[in-house]
Amino acid sequence: MSGQVILQITGYKNSGKTTLISSLIPWLKQRGHRVAVIKHDGHDFQMDHTGTDTSCFIESGAEAALISSPFRMAVLRQRPMELEELIGEVDDCIDWIVVEGFKQECYPKLVLLSGFQDVSLVGGLSHILAVVVHPDMAKEPQRLQALQQEAEATVPWFSREDRNHIFEHLYSQLSIR
């Protein structure tokens, strides 16, 4: 795992995490990096559907079911995994591992806020590299500045629309070059 960059993108539901990650991936790939994403789902997601072979294997009691095609592979396990264990599953040839969620883990974080009501999240997390705010929040700069001071945030705050500056900041802070 040496040499891999691990970055957490955190925020409450509908804060724009998936959208930002979907923009970050091609940005990193243009710079020659291989990227993997690990997503935390607080609910019981359904990746495989009833009637498929892998679903039948899991329903039959298999602890894990693997499926492979000429284009991809997936593993379904019948148990939760800690973030460290998930990171261990990622190929060593990956340069950047982007983690969506897992708020309380101790990796460098980009925190997304969808509104002023989310600012308390900043004070409850560690290893924050930057805060990204919804564009509507940026329209109230005095209120936003007061909240930054209240949160004692010494990291930069960006508008979600300013993706290039966000990505440049992350890259300068984390790049393995």
**In which domain, by residue range, is 94 found?**
5-41+80-174
107 is a domain residue: yes
Out of 13-27, 49-63, 112-126, 155-169, pick the least confident. 49-63
Containing H/E element for 144?
A: helix 141-150
Q: Of 25-34, 68-77, 88-97, where does the model show the most confidence? A: 25-34
CA–CA distances in Å: residue 38 to residues 8, 62, 146, 155: 9, 23, 34, 24
Confirm whether 164 is domain-assigned. Answer: yes
70 falls within a domain: no
Question: What CATH number is given to the structural domain containing 98?
Answer: 3.40.50.300
In a domain, 147, yes or no: yes
In-domain check, residue 142 = yes
pLDDT tens-place string over residues 13-47: 999 999 999 999 999 999 999 999 998 876 666 66
In a domain, 71, yes or no: no
* Mean pLDDT on 144-159: 86
Domain count, the chain: 1
- pTM score, whole prediction: 0.86
Q: Is residue 115 part of a domain?
A: yes
